[in-house]
Amino acid sequence: MASSLSHFPILLVFFLFTAFLSAESQSFIGVNYGQVADNLPPASDTAKLLQSTAIKRVRLFGADPAIIKALAGSSIAIAIGAANGDLPALASDPNAAAQWVNSNVLPFYPASKIDLINVGNEVLLSNDQGLISQLLPAMRNVQSALFAASLGGKVRVSTVHSMAVLAQSDPPSSGRFNPGFQDVLKGLLAFQRDNGSPFAVNPYPFFAYQSDPRPETLAFCLFQPNAGRVDSGSGIKYMNIFDAQVDAVRSALNVIGFKDIDILIAETGWPYHGDSNEVGTSVENARAYNGNLIAHLRSMVGTPLMPGKSVETYIFALYDEDLKPGPASERSFGLFKLDLTATYEVGLTNSSQTPSTPMVSPSPKPTSAQWCVPKSGISDAQLQANLDYACDHGIDCSAIQPGSDCFDPNTVASHAAYAMNLYYHTVGTVPLNCDFSQTAMLTSSNPSYNACSYTGGST
C-alpha cells in the first residue's frame, strides 16, 4: 500500500473542534518585545498594534513602565523580567525584592495584566557560580514579596533557561539535563512546583538547522512535509523539531521527578535575513516557521508526550532590534516593521484565519476553489512526504486503506491527492493550507470519482 497511515481519532476530535477557535481563546500565543534598539515605535502605538492582533501575551526582558502602562485595560497578559544584574540585591535583601515588586508590579496591577516575573535570563549558561547560587534565593524573595502584596498565586515567578541546560536531547526520550546543573535545577524546580510556575526554556530550531543544513532537516524544522524521525527509545515518530525539542525537555523533567511541572517556551523564532554565511535566513523560511508554529499551537494537538494541549509560547520577536550585536540574523527576527505593518503574514491579524504548513500566500481569505490537489509532474517521493504529513497530523485517512472507497487506484498520487485535500478542509480552507512546499494547487474541478468522495463544497 502506498500510504503511511497513522490514526489519531481522539486527537482528531480536539483538532476539528479547536482549529477554528476564535483568536480570543488562544491565550497561549505570545511575543517577545525586546528593546535593544533606538528606533522603536512609541509604547502607545505598540499597545494598539498588539491589541489589533491575535497575540494575547507579551514578554518584556525588563519592566518598562511605558509599555506596561500602555497595555492597561487590555486583555494582553504581560511577563516582566528582573535582569541578571539585579540578582545579587534580590537574593541578599528581602527588602530589595519588596521594593522591586512595589516599583514594577503594584503601580500597574491589576489594570495591566502582569502574570509572570522571570527572575534572570539564561543564568545557568553564564557559568558564573556566584550568580547561579543567587538565583533561587532571588526567586524566593520575589515570591515572598508577591505574597506580602496579596499577589501570591496571581503572578507567577520563574526563570528562563537556554536549551543548553540539556546534556542530551536527541532522541527526545533520552532528554537529560547537564549533570553539572542538575542539583541547581532540582532546587529551582522544587520551588516552582510549590508555587505553580512553569519551566521556561528557549528552543530555536533555526540553530539546529544551522548545524545540519540538509533539505530534510529544513522541512523538519519548518513543520513542512517530511518523512519524520522515529525516536529509537520510545518508537514515537516526530514530524517536526519543535515537538521533539519540547518533548526532550519533558523527558528531562520527568527523569528527575518533576512530571507535574508545566513547560513554557520563553523564546523561539526564525530570522528573515542574515549574513551571507548564515544558511536558512529568508522571509520564506521565517514565514513558514512562525506561521506553521502558530497553526500547530492553535490545533491543540500538542506534542506526543503532552497531547491535547498547547504550551504557552512566546515568539521572538515583535520588532527588529537594531542595536543588538552579532551577525545580521540577530537584528532580523521582527514580525512587524517599525511602521507597524507585518514583515510577513503569519496569521496573527484578528481577521486572518489559521495558517498552516507550508506558508507562501499572504492572503487569508477563502477562495472559490474548493479542492486541494497535487500539481502535475510532482515526484512520488514528494507526494509520499505530503501523504505522510497529512495522515500523521490528525487527518482520518481510513478512506484510502485497502477495501475502502478511495483505495483504488493504489498509487501514491491518488492517495496523496485524497489526503492533501482532506488536510486542507480540516485545517482551514485558505490558500495557506494548500501549498505543501509549492507542490499543490486549488481547483474548482471536483476530483471525486466512482464511490470515492473528496471533501469539498462551499465554505
Would you please indicate which residues are annotated as catalytic (active-site) residues? 122, 267
Q: HSE of 436 in the Cβ direction (CA atoms, 13 Å)?
A: 31
Dihedral in degrees, nearest 10, Cα atoms 143, 148, 151, 153: 50
Query: From CA 425, how far away is CA 430, in angstroms rounded?
Result: 9
Query: From CA 289, how far away is CA 44, in angstroms rounded?
Result: 29
Contact 387, 3 (CB under 8 A): yes
Contact 287, 346 (CB under 8 A): yes
Strands (E), 122-239: 156-162, 166-168, 176-177, 199-202, 229-230, 237-238
Degrees to nearest 5, angle at CA 209 with 270 and 372: 70
- CB proximity list for 346: less than 8 A, separation 6 or greater: 287, 290, 291, 294, 335, 355, 359
Query: β-pairing, 156-162 with 113-121?
Result: parallel
Helix pair angle (380-391, 412-427), 10° resolution? 40
